[in-house]
Amino acid sequence: MRSLFLTTHLLQNEGIRAEAEMVQGHVQVSIEGPRPNGKICTAIFPDRQMDEAAGWLVSRVKDLYPRSVLARIWQLVAKASDTQAEGRDL
C-alpha cells in the first residue's frame, strides 16, 4: 500500500494529477492525461492488490509522461536489468 500512495505523492509533486483512494474494499487509481482537460484513466483493484495498482499507475505514467522523473527512473532500472541479464548470458 505504501508504494502506491508514495507513487501518487511523487507524481503530484511533479504536477501530474494522480490519485488513489479506498472505496468499499477496493482501491481506485486514476491519472489525468497531459493535455489540458486530458482524459482521465481509471482502474479499480481489490484492496489486496495494491502492488498491482501501483504497477498499473507506473505503466500509465511511462505512456502518458515519458519525460517525467518517475518514467526516467523506470527506464534506468529497465536498462540496468537488461545489462545485468546480458552479463549473466556471457
Q: Which domain CATH number covers 68?
A: 3.30.160
Query: Given this model, what pLDDT does residue 51 score?
Result: 92
Q: What is the pLDDT of residues 2-43, one digit of tens each?
A: 689 898 999 999 999 999 999 999 999 999 998 877 789 999
pLDDT of residue 48: 93
Specify the amino acid at residue 68: S
Q: Look at residues 21, 14, 58, 63 and name the one whose alpha carbon lies nearest to residue 39.
A: 63
**pTM summary value:** 0.78
For 23, the grid coordinates are 472505496
Into how many domains does the chain fold?
1
Cell of 16: 501530474
Domain that holds residue 79: 2-89
The whole-number average pLDDT for the span 51-71 is 91
